[in-house]
Amino acid sequence: MTSKMTVLIVGSTGHMGSRIAWALAEKKDVKIRALVRNRQTEDVKKQQTIQRLEGLGAEIVEGDVFDIPSLERACTGVDTVLSAISGFQSRGDVIVTGQLNLLNAAKQAGVTRFIPADYSADYFQMQLGDNLVWDQRLTVGQAVKESGLDYTFIMNGGFTESFFAPFFQIFNFEAGTVEYWGDGDTKFDLTTTDDTAKYTAEAVVDPRTINTSFQVAGDVMTMKEAIAAYEEVKGKKLTVHCKGSLDDLKTWIENTKARVRVPWAVVPAQCQLGMALGKGKLHNIVNDRYPHIKPTSVREYLATTNAFDGGGVNKDD
Ligand SMILES: NC(=O)c1ccc[n+]([C@@H]2O[C@H](COP(=O)([O-])OP(=O)(O)OC[C@H]3O[C@@H](n4cnc5c(N)ncnc54)[C@H](OP(=O)(O)O)[C@@H]3O)[C@@H](O)[C@H]2O)c1
């Protein structure tokens, strides 16, 4: 009889973390330990998530990525630490400082594998300074590689939900407009959060993913193809506006950085620049290994979605 693999999910009450937990709960050889910040939370949605986790047999442990002893306790007896955290807090930034605390605790506790909160494009193609979000992932990713622990980096391109949401500043469905920079002809990858969660559960139990960037995509398309998909599925024409060349976009980003001095203000533009340059494009997509997962194409997503509420987008706490 083989013993079960214990997976600690950090960020289990979040949009991605909870979806990964539902998918992992279907894997019979996995035992889930879920780290939550406050088991007695008054947030009804989070309460329901915790109850559902308990109902699925998950062990609930309280902890916080800025509380080192809580991380040491949570990591004890764990095989794989899977992070799905997000947020900026007064105590520091969760993605870098928080995950480095978690990585250190995992190492001290003898954890075998660490899966950081990536769920992104291939940030190893980026240079520090390209994009605040990717800078954070690069910093953590390098530390994970140097830690001596096994790792898996989950790469799904952008979340389909986020790409069409106001956060990205491309589509404005109320106004019936779409704006982008460049020629709109560069391919990029989009995957829904549910599909990313299902593939992540596969990555956890599939030894082929150890020490790799695990790349999956629900769809691969260009900006012009995404606009055409929307118009075709919804039967509505959008007013399309090209805002300028990619050099114009670079200038816009530098000017805005100097003027606004809030790093997050340029992140959507930095993401658009990365996508339009093909930086971060996934080149080793392994969907075919998991034929039982039928990922949602952009057309299928648009056909079943009316609300573009930014699901899965980073939020401050
Ligand atoms: N590729 C894309 O297009 C894309 C788009 C959006 C997000 N993402 C990425 O997806 C990942 C997950 O994002 P999400 O939208 O699921 O985030 P989310 O819904 O905001 O969830 C964040 C989770 O982190 C937990 N958390 C926050 N601070 C913590 C702390 N100090 N200690 C312990 N746990 C803490 C939260 O716990 P509480 O419930 O207690 O607050 C929550 O469970 C992130 O890496 C994000 O950058 C990718």
- Choosing from 10, 12, 16, 95 the residue with most ligand 1 atoms within 8 A of its CB, the one to mutate for a pocket test is 16
Q: How far apart are the first and last CA of the chain?
A: 43
Residue type for position 282: L
pLDDT the model gives residue 262: 82
- pLDDT at position 88: 67
| Residue carrying structure tokens 């807090």 | 89
Task: Provide the pLDDT for residue 99.
Answer: 97
All residues at 6 or more sequence positions from 229 whose CB lies less than 8 Å from its CB, including other chains: 221, 298, 299, 302
Q: Which atom of ligand 1 lies at the shortest distance from residue 313's CA?
A: 6
- 85 Cα to the center of ligand 1, angstroms: 4
| Four-CA torsion 153, 154, 157, 158, nearest 10 degrees | -120
Task: Identify which of 119, 135, 170, 194 to mutate to test ligand 1's pocket (most ligand atoms within 8 A of the CB).
Answer: 119
- Report which of 105, 98, 100, 77 is spatially closest to residue 5, judged by C-alpha positions: 77
User: How far apart, in whole angstroms, are the C-alpha atoms of residue 190 and residue 243?
Assistant: 22
Q: Which two tokens stand for residue 1?
A: 């009889």
Which atom of ligand 1 is found nearest the CA of 312?
Answer: 15
User: d(Cα 291, Cα 271) in Å, to the nearest integer?
Assistant: 30
pLDDT of residue 311: 38
Residue 312's pLDDT is: 37
Rg (C-alpha) for the chain, rounded Å, is 20
With a cut of 50, list the residues of the chain below it in pLDDT: 309-317
Residue 34: strand pairing partners = 9, 60
